[in-house]
Amino acid sequence: MRKRQQPSLQTPFFLPRNVGSEPENPDKKPQFHLDLWFYFTVQNWILDFGRPIAMIIFPVEWFPLNKLSVGDYFHMAYNIITPFLLLKLIERSPKTLPISAVYICIITFVMGASIHLVGDSVNHRLILSGYQLHLSVRENPIMKDLKPQTLIDSFELLYYYDESLGHLMWYVPFFIIISLYFTGCFTRSSKDSRMPLSAWLLLGPSSLYYWYLVTEGQIFVLYIFTAFAMMATVMHKKRKGLVMDSNGLFLFYSFCIALVLISAWVAFLWNDKILRKKYPGVMYVPEPWAYYTLHIKKTP
């Protein structure tokens, strides 16, 4: 009697189809992932960039300062939708990717974004009370009258969780996943190395969002290293006779255009003495919301 074949334990049934289970197939005709890139662009603009704007537009009376704000709901939705889209993006990669690295990145991403949710929630409530983002924690007028003065240390710790630790745990795994996915965005056919009209239409909003992500997140060093890694990948693949497919071109062009926008932003604020004081050092990349509280928002 023929023995029934036992299911393999090496590839769990719950793993994505193309993560750690199938070999790289550069000869497979690539397709532009319009649905995923569109969802990424829309949810990034609404749930990330639109989060602080929604907190400004909606009346404070609707969301008391001791309750969740509309921005907090936006942030929670972002923390759920983005990891899901990243997993779907990795699933469509034609290249075998390290499943353990992907899972660790997703877990770290969710933890970092959640830390940022709490810090950012308190931070925006401080803005409603007169906190000025272009000043350091100790230099803010609303902090100088705190009693006891040790409370300022607690707010500096909150600022560290929000702007430093939260951003690193959020953005480092995000760009690692993007880089891993990019390594599979190559094809042997030069005919497939072109972007459809839909990709060109999404290129502007995508590039502009990366500008916001880098400037507001203060992650220019991480961003430029990721861009260099992508360039190195392109040169390495070219030696093998491979060229970027439509998805690779979309990512690569988005990064390049965003770099131009960042350079223009820095040049525009190059001689701003107040922002120079807030962002000292060689890497001078002011935050858009710091510019807003300094030059646009009228403090109470």
The confidence score (pLDDT) of residue 55 equals 79
Q: Which two tokens stand for residue 82?
A: 């983005």
Residue whose structure tokens are 């929630």 = 121
How many structural domains is the chain composed of?
1
Three-state SS string over the chain comes to CCCCCCCCCCCCCCCCCCCCCCCCCCCCCCCCCHHHHHHHHHHHHHHHHHHHHHHHHCCHHHCCCCCCCHHHHHHHHHHHHHHHHHHHHHHCCCCCCCHHHHHHHHHHHHHHHHHHHHHHHHHHHHHHCCCCCCCCCCCCHHHHCCCCCCHHHHHHHHHHHHHHHHHHHHHHHHHHHHHHHHCCCEECCHHHCCCCHHHHHHHHHHHHHHHHHHHHHCCHHHHHHHHHHHHHHHHHHHHCCCEECHHHHHHHHHHHHHHHHHHHHHHHCCCCHHHHHHCCCCCCCCCHHHHHHHHHCCCC
Is residue 15 domain-resident?
Answer: no
Is residue 135 domain-resident?
Answer: yes
Is residue 2 domain-resident?
Answer: no
Ranges of residues in the chain with a pLDDT under 50 are: 1-3, 7-23, 300
Is residue 265 domain-resident?
Answer: yes
Is residue 16 domain-resident?
Answer: no
CA Rg, the chain, in Å?
A: 22
The confidence score (pLDDT) of residue 7 equals 46
The confidence score (pLDDT) of residue 23 equals 42
Beta-bridged to residue 187, according to DSSP, are 243
The confidence score (pLDDT) of residue 112 equals 93
Is residue 43 domain-resident?
Answer: yes
Which structural domain range is residue 117 located in?
34-296
d(CA 33, CA 41): 12
Is residue 17 domain-resident?
Answer: no
The confidence score (pLDDT) of residue 25 equals 55
Nearest to 255 by CA among 190, 161, 185: 185
Is residue 5 domain-resident?
Answer: no
* Number of other residues whose CB lies within 10 A of the CB of residue 48: 19
Taking only the tens place, the pLDDT of each residue in 66-114 is 788 888 899 999 999 999 999 999 998 888 788 999 999 999 999 999 9
